[in-house]
Amino acid sequence: MQNLKVIYEDNHIIVVEKIPNIPSQADKTGDIDMLTLVRQYLKEKYHKPGNVYLGLVHRLDRPVGGIMIFAKTSKAASRLSNQVREKIFEKKYLAVVDGKIENKKRNFRKLLV
């Protein structure tokens, strides 16, 4: 199992760092994904037999790295999903670029489209 950087964990949620180029959830490539990695981590840490419940609250695109929050209970998943729907759950993005940007406004708009 790849190293998983756990930032925070309690009885309801687990917050982890997603490194770039790992999908948030399983896709047609069959590559290891964050949902599977976190499930494996919980299964091993708590010696759980069988399937481990883990709710995917939000996703990050495959090439993107960042912080992901997973729900460890169905109640937490429901409450967090509701916060995402109601836009209470705040997302912040930081882009790191390499090189000189000629026209900041025009290039920035292209990134948003």
Residue 63: name the closest of 99, 32, 92, 23 by CA. 23
Q: Is 61 a catalytic residue?
A: yes
**Of the listed 27, 31, 33, 61, which one is catalytic?**
61
- pTM for the whole thing? 0.81
How is the chain split into domains, by residue range? Answer: 6-112
Query: Which fold is adopted by the domain 6-112?
Result: Pseudouridine synthase (3.30.2350)
* SS3 sequence of 34-84: HHHHHHHHHHHHCCCCCCCCCEECCCCCCCCCEEEEEECCHHHHHHHHHHH
pLDDT tens, position by position, 49-94: 999 999 999 999 999 999 999 999 999 999 999 999 999 988 888 8
